[in-house]
Amino acid sequence: MSGVRTALVWDPAVTAYRFRPDHPFNPRRLELTVSLMEALGLLEAEHVGVVAPRRATDEELMRVHSAEYVAAVKRCSERGARPADGWPWGLGTDDTPLFPGMHDVTSLVVGATLRAAELVMSGEYTRAFNLAGGLHHAHRDRGSGFCVYSDLAAAIAWIREAHGARVMYIDYDAHHGDGVQGIFYDDPEVLTLSIHESGRYLFPGTGFVDELGEGEGFGYSLNVPLEPFTEDDSWIGIYARLLPEVAEAFRPDVIVLQNGCDGHGYDPLTHLRATTRLYEETVRITCEVADRLCGGRVVATGGGGYAIWKTVPRAWSLVWAALSGQTAPDVIPHAWNDRWQGESPDLLPERLRDPAGLFPPVPRRAEIEATNRRTVQSLHRQALPLLRGWGLGF
């Protein structure tokens, strides 16, 4: 699509979202990513811009969270708050511990995704990317899985209220997007599509094919739980066929895209076997669908990603390049590696894209791919009568 303008919503202040030094949700990954984008020259084109975020208001938070929960988060954000104070709200746990200023910085992350949505829905930019966002496990009245507030749900709710737009939410983080799904489970104007490692093996233990929504929203929650050790070909093949068909049936006005990169084979918390090819291809396919159906409009966020040195900066630089219609150079500048290698516990890659054959062959490859196909066939059988116009050829 010609004339695409893309915004990166960024301020280093979002890196204050840090639970404790040894927690895997490490905001250092954000600094690494932005510095790599700069080193690759991906923030210099005339059609891209860097836009500062703003803080979400209580009213914006309470579109998707209860007033009681917001008040509890504020109390738990004060110095001296005890972990037990947060337990009734899913906070103060090993996964989502308390830290001073939690409400303020999480509100800033939510506001960054709201700002991205404002830029896109106003037409000022066609696409916008908040790499600090993607907090898809937060529920209406509890935190979960490193997530305090749901920036994604807040942005979707604002889009619905301010513009009456139909929203297609796509999530290909390795973990099921349970919080976003739950908040919009009965809303036929928000279709959620999550492709993730099966909840049989991975937190949060949800995201199965029979989770289809409820009430008026029945048929508008779609899940593809992948087998562990799923590789690029199976994952991308499913996405390339599934997304266009579902989008054609739903006819969204805007796509909200969560780009968690913890499905990469280097990630320490999951069991999938993607390479950087997944992130480049998925965003390319998504943008093609958006260009055809909803004026190119994509509101994008980051998400999971815990191989913060070897994977996250490269994956999200490729996401940004695809969103902004740029071809990223493959060689990582020596100056970037020199800047960060002394801090990294791993040898940093010299190329942006993973080579073919990066990981050893998976012995059960044919079985895994066949199981994934059967999963999509099952979804097709159950959802076809509900989402009219969907006719997949799996």
Q: Residue 1 forms beta bridges with which residues?
A: none
Look-up of token digits 């740029």: 326
Residues 222, 209: Cα–Cα separation, whole Å: 7
The residue count of the chain comes to: 394
Token pair listed for 184: 């919009």
Q: Which residues touch 51 (CB under 8 Å, ≥6 apart)?
A: 7, 8, 9, 10, 115, 119, 128
155 φ, ψ (degrees, to nearest 5): -70, -45
Residues 172, 192: Cα–Cα separation, whole Å: 11
**Active site includes 23?**
no
Residues 131, 7: Cα–Cα separation, whole Å: 11
Identify the helix (H) or strand (E) that includes residue 197.
Answer: strand 190-197
Q: Please tell me what DSSP assigns to residue 268.
A: S
Choosing from 65, 136, 137, 139, which is the catalytic residue? 137
Residues 120, 254: Cα–Cα separation, whole Å: 9
DSSP strand pairing (190-197 vs 221-226): parallel
Q: Which residues touch 314 (CB under 8 Å, ≥6 apart)?
A: 36, 276, 332, 349, 352, 353
Catalytic residues: 137
